[in-house]
Every structure is written in structure tokens, then in C-alpha cells.
Amino acid sequence: MTDNREKALQYAKENKEKFLNELIDIVRIPSVSTDSERKDDMLRAAEWLTKKLADLGMENIEIFPTPKHPVVYADWLHAEGAPTVLIYGHYDVQPADPLELWETPPFEPSQRGDNLHARGASDMKGQVVATLSAIESIVENGGLPINIKFMIEGEEEIGSPSLVDFMESHKDLLAADFCLNADAGMLGKELPSITYALRGLAYFEIHVNGPSHDLHSGLFGGAVRNPANVLMTLIAGMKDADGHIQLPGFYDKVRSLDDEERAQLARLPMKEEFFLKQTGAPALWGEKGFTPVEHVGARPTLDVNGMLSGFTGEGAKTVLPATAMAKISMRLVPDQTPGEVYEQLVQYMEANTPEGVTWDIKIEHGGNPSISERDGIGVRAMAKALKQIWGVESLFKREGGSIPVVGNMQDILGIESVLTGFGLPDDRIHSPNEKQDLPTWYRGIDALIHFFYNLV
């Protein structure tokens, strides 16, 4: 086994260019799940994965259709007595807009220095290809020591709306000891990380409607409610001056941080300077009584993601708009749920919306928060693997973002997830000029090779 491990590591070293070319191939595919015109590209990405899985000798490969985008499944189950790992990934990516801010086209990968720039290079095609490359290195040098299953979806960037039903109807197919999910990341090039908690997400559109049509602001301004003014006032009232969210009952189920966990989080290298550097903001701000690292991982949020009303073109147009819309997202922590937060938002709107306008709320998508054990077989194997490559102990962190599938797997499949990854905080995921640091990516492949061997 040790011999095979060394051979696999050597194989990975000798095939860096091959692995990089495969990453380049798949990031060229504009698999934007939110764009209906990219449906064929979504299928192309799924087919690229099935071909690669077949080349690796995986079995029972299938593209399962869903109401939106397909799920790719494959397995290899011949390691008798060894654990079974369900490998999760997603092949969809965020839209590339605004295109004018990209230094090079988002779906024409460009290597500049140590970085590969392209949409999906980090989130998450880079992590999927790193996993496949590690498995190839093992398969070509003695074979897999453990059993594996793959579930690679195409809807993560839109909240995985089809995945719950897929898992509910394929529980036996997906049965495993735990899940490997590389959709998290590292805190720095020399700071290998394992994530044990994720915030959930509740995403809404709020519409406020006033007159039947846009009005002349001189003829009618002051005589009727302006939906834009009303919506801004409502949004402003959703938080107080200390950053506390004012929806009724919002904090009733928020799980408190104990002294031990706060001490652990305080050890992370994420002080004020870290956030100022990563954000480019002139100053930090957050809920009173908590530190920045607690703000982004352990406390719930409410943020405006976009607003639209009236005239927004060049120049002036004296219009009193008939409607106003805001997109609102809330990051949730254990034990909040999107459904309960929706009811709280409704109660707030009912209590605070003045006469003269009507309103409605559109539910976009949501996902439950999750928190996982820090001492399972998979976590121990990953912590050891990261130390074998980086030479330091792993950092355990809460993640501010949302990966709904982790909580869904706990609820539906009864399995925990090992959350790691080899993206960096400055990878600009979801933003123009997304990139993957390649030296870190290659080390990640080596760490995954160790991980699979460490399980036996």
C-alpha cells in the first residue's frame, strides 16, 4: 500500500500538465445553470464528466435527468471491507456578468503567472478535477483501496432545487459512510482548512406596488405613496444601528456560541486586517458584540443584493415609479430554517407597510444551515492528509457561505460531510476574473491521494 501511495504521488507529479489541460477543457464549457440558453452547455459538461469517469474505470455511470439540470452518477465498489465515500461536486457555474470587468474572456481560460483565470476555475470545476486527478493517480498505480460513489450535480449555483428529490428517491444508490465535498476552501496558501459548519440561505424578492402606472413626479408627487421610498424605508428598518435584525422572532432559534468555540474561532488568522485586505472596504461593520470571524461564519445576516425602481438611465426623468423591487438574502445559522424566516419576513411587512401600497414576496431559493462532527473517520483522514502535504495542523473553520447539500445529506442520507477544498480567499469566485492558484491546486491533488489511502 505504501508503495502504491508513492507511485500515485509520482504519477501526479509527472501528469501535472495533463491534469491542467483537463481543467482547461471543462472550464471552457459555459455551464451557467441560471441561464436557460445554456441548457445544451450544461449537458455538455455532464457528458464531459461521464467520459472522464469512464476513462477512470468507474461503473454504473449514468446521467440522471431532473426538472432542471442532470445529476451525474458513477461508482466503483470492489474494495471489500473498506469504507464507501460519496464524492459530491457540481459542474454548474455562476454567470460571468459583468463581462467588461474581465481581463480575459471568462470561458477562454488564461494562465497568468501561477493562476488559471476562468469562470469555474476555482468554484467548483477546479475542485472536481483535482478529485478526479487524485483518483486517476491511484487507479493507475494499484487501484483504489476504498469504495467510491459520485454525485455531481448541475444546480448548486441556483440552490440545488432538484437535488433533495433526487436524494430522496435514490437513498440506496447513494448510501455511503460519509461524503467528501471539496466545495469549501483554504484560508491561505499555507493554511489548509476543514470546514465544519455552513450557513444556510433564504433568498427573496420583495415587490412594492403603488399607482397603476409611472406618474409625473411634479403633477402627483406628494399626493400618493412612492413605492421606492416605501421599500427603502422598510429595508432600512430591518436592521437597527447595532446591526441586529428586526424581523420578529429572528433570533429565537439561533444557536449560541460557547466559550470553547469562540476561543477556537479566535485562533483563526482572520483578524480585521484580513477582512479589510480581502474586501477592499474602508472599514468593517457588523453586529455589535461579535468579532468579524464570528460575523461571517456563526451569525445570521440580512443583506440587499439588488434594487430596481423607476428611471435608472443617463440623465434625468421626473418619474414617480409605480413599482419597486429588492432582492434580499439572509444567511442562516443552526437552527434557523428558510421557511421560518420567510414567515418572519411576512410578519415584518404586515406590521410595517403603510397604506397606499401593496406588496408581495417571491421566494427564490433557500437551504438549511449545517454543523458537522469534527472527529469522524473522514475528517481524521483529511486532517492527516493535509498535514502530510502542508506540514502543519489543519484549521477548523465555519464557512459563511451556503452549501445546502451538506444539511440535506445529514437529513436524507444520514451521513456527515468532510468539507475541504483548495480555493483561496482571493479567488474572486462569483466575481469577474475568478482564478485558481495552481501550486495550491497541485498540492491539493497530492493531499487527496493521501486522503484516500488514509482511510484504510
Residue 349's CB is within 10 A of a number of other CB atoms, namely 17
Which pTM was predicted? Answer: 0.81
Confidence band for 155, pLDDT divided at 50, 70 and 90: very high
| pLDDT value at residue 264 | 84
CA 361 to chain centre: 24
Closest CA to 56 of 177, 183, 148: 148
CATH number reported for the structural domain that contains residue 336 in this entry: 3.30.70.360
CATH number reported for the structural domain that contains residue 72 in this entry: 3.40.630.10
Count of structural domains within the chain = 2
Span 210-266, pLDDT tens digits: 999 999 999 999 999 999 999 999 999 999 999 999 999 999 999 999 998 898 899
In a domain, residue 320? The reply is yes
Q: Is pLDDT of 1 > 80?
A: no
Residues 346 and 245 in one domain: yes
Span 24-61, pLDDT tens digits: 999 999 999 999 999 999 999 999 999 999 999 999 99
Residue 193 dihedral angles phi and psi, to the nearest 5°: -135, 145
Span 376-396, pLDDT tens digits: 999 999 999 999 999 999 999
Residues 113 and 230 in one domain: no
Span 313-358, pLDDT tens digits: 999 999 999 999 999 999 999 999 999 999 999 999 999 999 999 9
Q: Is pLDDT of 434 > 90?
A: yes
Could you say which of 321, 351, 367 is where a domain stops?
367
Residues 235 and 130 in one domain: no
Residue 219's CB is within 10 A of a number of other CB atoms, namely 9
* Domain range enclosing 95: 2-198+369-454
CA 293 to chain centre: 18
3-state secondary structure at position 124: coil
What's the rounded Cα separation, in Å, for the pair 264 and 279? 23
Give the CA angle between residues 73, 74, 76 to the nearest 5°.
155
